Structure 1
């Protein structure tokens, strides 16, 4: 029994050595993001109730395993990619847990992502069987939480390769993403026909980019910047970005004028914060990593 366990652990370590755990984690992150965007596409095209409201089956082929039409294809393909994302999440968690060379914080984050995965699967099932707004929201935010966990874990794994320039680059990405986030929202696209599935996918893609940007800026800023006030500005920007993303989602769903105005105001403040952050980080002093730091 002990020999089998040792052999299994050795095989896991050999697999990680060949593929590279950082690359495995980055691939998992990409699959999680793709699953979220395909879920948005399924919702935007009204395909959530396709596949004749079957789950996990669809509405064509042997045992109803395949889609019968285009709406069903959106839902089926979302599930198909989600399946591989789930396997990648589990594989990343097992690899992190079994490999002593992986940072304990990274292992904790990816294991938590694995724990949330079956909850997300159940919520996905309920979106098909019930299709209620509360369930849809829980399904979306759970997916975003898993995405955030893997972004943080990925940044931790790549820590030694990240510098002050990556802080500036992340802020540039946030500065570019934020106006697109607003421009692609129903607040600007007042004609509902313009708010097409492709536009919605683009907006949520920008949302994920915005979240990733502020996470990278804060984490790398804390490691590489000497100015604590500048780091505090980055932390404030991250908090503000979370509120903007939440309000953007609520504004889309409720079309509440009060939320619309607050969303626009906070987006403008966040944009200015990004611009100031870019200017300050470009001339900021870099902190030399301590010997042996990871």
Structure 2
């Protein structure tokens, strides 16, 4: 009876080998975005305390691990997806550090997201056990910070495939999304009384699109264009987008209405100007498909 002296390979290869680090990073980004939107749903439906201030448990089933009703389900499902997002962040960070071909800038960004994750978990617990508006705001902006660092990392990883056309497309997407951001805000929607869960989730989804669009435009624009005027405009557009995101969250307060309108108008002008400049800009040496 003959024996095989060769070591057999594992049947199931690690995900990072099967799909590649860029896909793992992109999947993690999707999970982070989904966690944010589900958190908005829990907040908008008033479900944040539906698990009877239990954390990480809920209010039904063995050891109170399951939701007892629909409001509890919103909060429970948010935590459930957040758990997988956390695992994905840890796995992505380990892969970024251990894989030799991962850009050190990307690894640094992913590790920064990993460092922010336990802070976000603690803040999530505090939104249940010690509910205050300040803690809720910190919880949200920490989530946005994680989203931003993973978006930048993802864009850097895929940058070799992104060209001048993608910069123009990202700016056009931002310009197209901006009117929806305003239309879904309490400023146009009829005030806080009609600012329901569906509108809130839709507006925050548009917010994530806006932030992702300006990040793509700014990061790839610096690589594909040599125009100092254009790169300055793209940087200014990024700052304006974050200001609009902040004011859009505060637009439930009439004191912020005028500022929201002004900065939204400035952002729209910046998007349109960026589209014009990128279409006219000459193809520079960095426009080649290089990482």
Q: Normalized per residue, which structure has more helix?
A: 1
Q: Distance in 2 between matches of 1:281 and 1:188?
A: 32
Q: Give matches, 1:219-238, under 5 Å.
A: 219-238=219-238
Q: CA deviation at 1:289?
A: 3.6
Q: In the aligned structure 2, how far is the partner of 1:162 from the partner of 1:152? A: 13
What is the match of residue 111 of structure 1? Answer: 111
- Partner residue, 1:286: 283
Deviates more, 1:225-234 or 1:152-161: 225-234
Moved more, 183-192 or 209-218: 183-192
Match of 2:273 in 1: 276
Aligned equivalents of 1:292, 1:238: Cα separation in 2 = 24
Q: 1:115 to 1:217 in 2, by over 3 A?
A: same
Residue 182 of structure 1 aligns with which residue? 182
Match of 1:16 in 2: 16
Deviation at 1:292, TM superposition (A): 9.9
Mark the runs of 5 or more structure 1 residues left unpaired by the alignment: 1-12
Q: Does 1:261 align with 2:258?
A: yes
- How far did 1:242 drift? 1.2
Change (3 A) 1:292 1:38: closer
How many Å apart are 1:178 and its aligned residue? 1.1
Cα drift, residue 48 of structure 1: 0.4
Gaps of 5+ in 2: 1-12
Deviation at 1:15, TM superposition (A): 4.1
Q: CA deviation at 1:194?
A: 2.7
1:135-161 Cα distance to aligned partner (Å, 9 max, x none): 000000000000000000000100100
Q: CA deviation at 1:179?
A: 1.1
Instruction: Please report how far the alpha carbon of residue 46 of structure 1 lies from its aligned counterpart in structure 2 after TM superposition.
Output: 0.2
Aligned counterparts, 1:95-174, within 5 A: 95-174=95-174
Deviates most, 83-92 or 220-229: 220-229
Contact map agreement 1:210 1:241 (CA 8 A) in 2: yes
Distance 2:246 2:203 in 1: 13
**Which stretch shows the higher mean deviation, 238-247 or 73-82?**
238-247
- Return the TM-score normalized by structure 2: 0.93
2:92–2:110 CA contact under 8 A, matched in 1:
yes
Asked whether the equivalents of residues 163 and 287 of structure 2 are also in contact (C-alpha less than 8 Å), the reply is: no
Task: Give aligned pairs, total.
Answer: 282
Give 1:201 shift: 0.3
Task: Map residues 208-227 of structure 1 onto 2, 5 A cutoff.
Answer: 208-227=208-227
Residue 237 of structure 2 aligns to a residue whose secondary structure is helix
Query: Aligned-pair distance for 1:288?
Result: 3.0
Aligned-residue CA RMSD in angstroms?
A: 1.9
Shift in Å, 1:17: 2.3
Post-superposition offset of 1:291: 8.7
Q: Which TM-score applies when normalising by structure 1?
A: 0.92
The answer to whether residue 77 in structure 2 is matched with residue 77 in structure 1 is yes
